[in-house]
């Protein structure tokens, strides 16, 4: 009675395992990335709204008096320090050429910048959530923060002072088309609208 596998049988078995792994690993990796994204985004959503609510409860409103110029890293840092920092656990802060970035303990981050509003004649304080903090330090600052997000690693969380998260009042088809098309900032809205899920038609 044979008690061992032949070399050919072992190689065939390893080949089959390799093929199965090659087919399933991308799916598993994508699933893992989506889980990390949703977990970190929900936490950020909670932390940001809690910070805003605590600041408003203490002072009646967010302090916009420090917003003296657009695309100024010192202005962005001052706004963050006055309105958010006292109510958030931050492990690192840094200035970018036009804004600032802050790192959270879970590895995610926040990017903040005051810039002109696309639809208003005034300026807005834009907040971007980064699944990986390092992405916050390399945000494309040659475009509007609303356009700098991609719905995969960078997500918009408001275009006016204290407006968090983005409005979820539109119908889903409109939100989805905006996410897929000219307004990737709507991808945040789509995820919130779908009950913190990334559904099959999400442009991942």
Cis peptide leading into residue 74 (ω within 30°) = no
With cut-offs at 50, 70 and 90, classify the pLDDT of residue 18. confident
The DSSP secondary-structure symbol of 73 reads H
Tens of pLDDT along 95-146? 999 999 999 999 999 999 998 776 555 678 899 999 999 999 999 999 888 8
10 is a domain residue: no
With cut-offs at 50, 70 and 90, classify the pLDDT of residue 162. very low
Provide the percentage of residues in the chain whose pLDDT is more than 70: 88
177 is a domain residue: yes
78 is a domain residue: yes
The count of domains in the chain is 1
């Amino acid at each position: 009675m044979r008690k061992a596998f032949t070399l050919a049988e072992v190689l065939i078995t390893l080949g089959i395992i390799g093929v199965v792994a090659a087919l399933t690993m991308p799916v598993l990796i994508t699933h893992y990335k989506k889980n990390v994204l949703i977990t970190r985004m929900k936490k950020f959503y909670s932390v940001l709204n809690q910070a805003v609510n605590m600041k408003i409860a203490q002072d009646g409103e967010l302090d916009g008096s420090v917003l003296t110029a657009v695309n100024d890293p010192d202005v962005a840092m001052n706004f963050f320090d006055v309105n958010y920092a006292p109510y958030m656990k931050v492990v690192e802060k840094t200035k970018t050429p036009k804004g600032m970035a802050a790192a959270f303990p879970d590895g995610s981050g926040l990017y903040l910048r005051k810039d002109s509003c696309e639809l208003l004649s005034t300026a807005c304080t834009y907040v971007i959530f980064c699944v990986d903090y390092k992405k916050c330090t390399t945000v494309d600052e040659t475009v509007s923060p609303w356009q700098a997000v991609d719905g995969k690693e960078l997500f918009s969380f408001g275009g006016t002072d204290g407006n968090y998260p983005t409005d979820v009042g539109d119908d889903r088809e409109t939100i989805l088309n905006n996410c897929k098309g000219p307004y990737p900032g709507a991808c945040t809205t789509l995820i919130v609208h779908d009950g913190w899920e990334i559904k099959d038609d999400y442009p991942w």
